[in-house]
Chain A
Amino acid sequence: MLTLSHISKTFNPGTVNEKKAITDLSLHLDKGDFVTIIGSNGAGKSTLFNAICGDFMTDSGSIVLDGKDVTFQPSYVRSKQIGRLFQDPMRGSAPHMTIEENLALAAGSGGWLSHVTKADKENFRDRLKLLGMGLEDRMKQPVGLLSGGQRQALTLMMATFHPPKLLLLDEHTAALDPATAEKVLEITKSVVEEDRITTLMVTHNMRQALDLGNRTLMMDSGGIVLDLKGEERKKMTVEDLLAQFKLQAGKNLDNDRILLS
């Protein structure tokens, strides 16, 4: 589904601020893979997502999504096939527009001059019911009135309204309170499973990294230092994971927000 071949990215090359964010990284994901990513601060997790989404052009290498080379595609073209959630719930929806209008943008059916139809509204309502947050009765309210958790759940729904080929979750529950985070995670799991969406999820929760999905990547200094799957992953404990990291990266996992349990 997604193949990254030898991609690299250096920011501010040739200056004192030179930062090699990604170095010769290769990765292949099969359709339906749910991959969790952990790594130390500045390991290049978010940069990797930015590269996949086309926020910047990589210095070298190629990115192939569903058999199509997207290395040089601008981000708004790639975004048609990639759903993306950030840590900040405010980034994913327009605050002064109503829930209905935000959903209409995500649904994006019909031509540029098409209006939201009655059938669309019914569809939105049914979808919102699935979140179990009572949002279906607040369709005419501006999104800015929602709580962080509600907004993140809405963003998730918008990102997966038409199941994307790839879903990128960048610590999307980290800014939420534990109960809400749990709820959003539940919704994430059901959405991803239902449509078998290929997913990459950055997390700082080691337990979550092992429990969720079918594969775990560890990143350090712009590269993948550990790729766990199958039986090996099933047997892995959080302690093993930390030990493995130290072995592979030659240092302790240094993430100021890491959760071990």
Chain B
Amino acid sequence: MDLASVLGLGQTALELGLTCSLTVLALFLSYSMLNVCDLSTDGCFTLGAAVGAVVALTGHPLLSLVAAMGAGVCSGFVTALLQTKMGVNSLLAGIIVNTGLYSINMMVMGGAALLNLKKAPTIFTLVKGLLADTPLAGQYELLTVAAAAALVVAVLTAFLNTRLGLAIRATGDNPDMVRSSSINPAFTTIVGLCISNAFTGLSGCLLGQMQKSMDINIGQGMVTIALASLLIGNTIMGRGGIFTRALGMVVGSFVFRLVYTIALRLDMPGFMLKLVSSVIVVLAISAPYLKSRWPEVQRRLDHGKEGKTVC
């Protein structure tokens, strides 16, 4: 493999990793901070992509980002409302919203399962125009998603250190404490999920516009992919302040895509992506548990040996 193709691989991984890192950051807020596993992520990602594509097709690339985030907020609000005010289990709430969103997404896309954005003005064509005739012109896609990721990391870090952010973190960290404090857990859950889904929506919107096409399955499996990235990020940069950890999410997302891109290069078929992400999630979640069980297993094994020597 020559240097150019290695760099090419790295670039693809970086672009995809940065785009999807927004979803990872969304899960960082909902899963790591609020301790809610938001299974509506797939549908919300697609919703963001659909809304973003439709608005971009009307000729408003900037508005498309805002609209995608707004759609994400609505989706998160419904998920949060179901689990805080209507007694639906939080996992179930996510699954229900995810299912419902399929119809809504089809509706947004006007019944078509595929939208072509090749001729539409997107945020990428906008940046490309701005950067024309500068040395950075060739890297407009990378710069756009890097800026988006940097912005979201900055906003999220600042937010999680505000009073509201601290309250959201406490809600996930010690529900007992929050129940007997002046924090209303329903309120913090709703705000947290609205913000996290705004990021998911934006992430979907950017991916759709970067790929210049948007199909109804764009978000399928995104929650597992994002979780895998989140767990990789936690392993690499899980200790430290909020900023370090948030940055770790972006790094995790990149590392995941890099490994995947290399695997593709080694003739792994593209459809293996989801199995790989599932395996990573299982490994990352169960490894600490299995490790904690190991002394017991060892004790049993040793005991067996002792028994033999006595006999």
Contacts and interface: CB of A to CB of B under 8 A. Distances in A.
A113 B166 contact: no
A96 B181 CA distance: 17
Interface stretch (A64-72, A102-110, A175-183, A238-246): A102-110
A111 B163 contact: yes
Main SS at interface, chain B = helix
B176 interface: yes
A97 B179 CA distance: 17
A136 interface: no
B184 to A, nearest CB: 4
Contacts of A91: 174, 176-177, 180
Contact of A95 (B162, B163, B174, B185): B174
B167 interface: yes
B166 A104 contact: yes
B180 A113 contact: no
A101 interface: yes
B150 interface: no
Q: Is the interface of A mostly helix, strand, loop or mixed?
A: loop
A130 interface: no
A110 B185 CA distance: 19
Interface string B170-192: 10011011011111110000000
Interface string A77-110: 1011000101000111111110001101100101
A115 interface: yes
B220 interface: no
Contacts of A17: none
A86 B182 CA distance: 16
Contacts of A3: none
B164 interface: yes
A61 interface: no
Contacts of B185: 76
Given A79-B181, A94-B174, A110-B163, 8 more contacts: A91-B174, A91-B176, A92-B177, A97-B166, A97-B170, A108-B163, A111-B163, A112-B163
Interface of B: 158-159, 161-164, 166-167, 169-170, 173-174, 176-177, 179-185
13 contacts: A53-B180, A76-B182, A76-B183, A77-B182, A84-B180, A86-B180, A91-B174, A92-B180, A94-B177, A97-B173, A104-B166, A112-B162, A113-B162
